[in-house]
Homo-oligomer: A and B are copies of this chain.
Amino acid sequence: MINLRGKDILDGAQFTREEVDHIMAVADEMRARLRDRHSLDLMTGYVLATLFFEPSTRTRLSFEAAMHRLGGGVIGFSSAESSSTAKGETLADTIRTVDQYADIIAMRHPQIGSAREAAAVAEAPILNGGDGAGQHPTQALLDLFTIRQERGQVDGTTIALVGDLKNGRTVHAGVEIYKHYRCKLIMVAPEQLRMPADLVTKLRSYGVEVEETADLEGALAKADVLYMTRIQKERFADPVEYERLKNSYILTREMVERLQPNVTVLHPLPRVNEIATDVDSLPGAGYFRQVKNGVYVRMALIALVMGKI
């Protein structure tokens, strides 16, 4: 019997496969229940706080839309400057304060471990919306939900993860979830931005087949799902090396059509230029459907940790 009531959602590694399957099923139910109406009333009278110490359109608005679709209210802030942090307040004090106002808290903070620190002091469940280069579990769950929807199932899928795998919290959270589904993972990154070795070792010891490469085209040819992320210029010591790699990690329509027309392309967004806009109209370009799925998955998580399902 799965019960997430009162649980914090902090990282991808916290879930069993049964829990992930349950979250997926509840997200399915949310989508079905919204099909012929605009909102439910599961959370009427409840308050979600969205505490965003870093700018974010997507994750903040997605949580807020999810709460509104559930019938609840929202308070919060969208930058550290408009919070008491500007007066020198610690994160723990800010969280303890907001804990008096809200029934559930979604947060993004630049520091790794900040969501866990918040969970240690808050009575309200904490939903980690990104902690620096750490984790981003709600994104990982909505990614999984999208793969399941686009491909029919997740088990046995070959997923190529592309870009900055060293610092990407989305992929760090994602692999912890994919490991439950016998996915084959192809990790496509330049040498400087490879997935942390301990995480690769952990995945292999769990029985996951992992291939590491720097070659996007080769990976695309073998992938069912291509999960693109940004290459960040500031991570490179050598600008020439950056320029060379940057261009090899731009996905074009020509590449998809030539190498793997049936691939599903995902991206946590925002993108800068790593997916050419003419890819958008391909049937496998799933990244805006992925955005919509974020609302269903976050509705499911809110309802589950609040004990409403």
Contacts and interface: CB of A to CB of B under 8 A. Distances in A.
Contact of A56 (B46, B69, B84, B292): B84
B288 A96 contact: yes
Interface residues of chain A: helix, strand, loop or mixed (majority): mixed
Contact of A97 (B57, B77, B85, B97): B57
Contacts of A83: 55, 57
Interface string A33-72: 0000111000011110100100111100110110011010
Interface string A70-110: 01011111110111111111001110111111110000000
A281 to B, nearest CB: 12
Contacts of A62: 101
Q: Count this chain's copies in the assembly.
A: 3
Interface stretch (A150-158, A182-190, A236-244, A267-275): A267-275
Interface in A157-179: none
A24 interface: no
Contacts of A39: 44-47, 73
A291 interface: yes
Contact of A64 (B38, B46, B75): B75
A223 interface: no
Contacts of A64: 75, 101
Nearest to A77: B78
A295 interface: yes
B47 A68 contact: yes
Nearest to A56: B84
15 contacts: A49-B61, A55-B81, A55-B82, A55-B87, A57-B83, A57-B84, A57-B85, A57-B98, A61-B76, A84-B270, A88-B270, A89-B270, A89-B271, A94-B270, A100-B291
